[in-house]
A = this chain, B = another copy of it.
């Protein structure tokens, strides 16, 4: 391991050393690539530069409401060319978890969540039910009437769902409790998130907790901070975590996540973390490197 003992300000020398030593850069998006709906300066050129040096780029998001295709469209709308293959959303992670575990394609997957999960499951060859289709359904307590559920559901995937309702919760609860071996997969467990620019809203952690409450079971988490993504990249591209660099703007999520999975870590100051906070005695989380923003690479590696 050639990682420095303390946090190092990125400079031409360390930037070259970092780029030479890693094969993949994993980017958190908000605060790194964009802020809200605004691209951060110099991002497209930086990504082109890293690609030209043969680096694999992975854009990591716990957002499960979109599929990779829909997420790529967001990148394009902001003026960045990113391929679906470079996106690792928690919706894709759920589908890949089932793939890696050789989930039988004849079994079904019940979804509490949005279209993103359904699309990724279908693209991976699985049959998804529930999700947006069940948004308007009601569950009624009727005497002598059984609330029926599909016994061939072998997995429940729960993500952020602004249309969560009692029908979906009962359906998922019955699958998890009554279908033998049924998996309970959470895209992520973020308590809240900036679904709008002005405030935070309940995140996937809210819906996942609801199903934990009714089933008294713990989910398999596939998004951050689970290290499923790293295991997947290792299997698929044969890149070990010591050859990955996690780039993020949050110490207690991105950087901690990168460190705990054995990646190199780079903090950018273009998001929520200030240099003062990074160096304050109360902060115990020290990234390997830090810099103002990702486009600093252009100057450091230039010409």
A residues apposed to B, CB below 8 Å: 37, 139-147, 161-166, 169-170, 173-174, 177, 189, 191-192, 195-199, 201-203, 205-216
Given that A142-B196, A164-B164, A196-B145 are contacting pairs, would A213 and B189 also be in contact in the complex, using a CB cutoff of 8 Å? yes
Complex-state Cα separation, A164 to B170, whole angstroms? 12
Distance between Cα atoms of A75 and B77 in the complex (Å): 63
Copies of this protein chain in the complex: 2
User: Are A206 and B169 closer than 8 Å at their CB atoms?
Assistant: yes
How far does the Cβ of A156 sit from chain B's closest Cβ, in whole Å?
A: 13
Assess whether A201 is in contact with B170, with CB atoms less than 8 Å apart: yes
- List the B residue with the shortest CB-CB distance to A202: B214
Contact B195 A141 (CB under 8 A): yes
Closest-by-CB residue of B relative to A207 is: B210
Known: A191-B214, A205-B214, A206-B210. 16 other contacts (CB 8 A): A37-B143, A141-B195, A141-B201, A144-B197, A144-B198, A145-B196, A161-B166, A162-B166, A164-B169, A169-B202, A169-B206, A173-B201, A177-B192, A192-B214, A209-B210, A209-B212
Given A191-B213, A203-B214, A207-B210, decide whether A163 and B166 contact each other with a Cβ distance below 8 A.
yes
Minimum distance in angstroms from A253 CB to a CB of chain B:
14
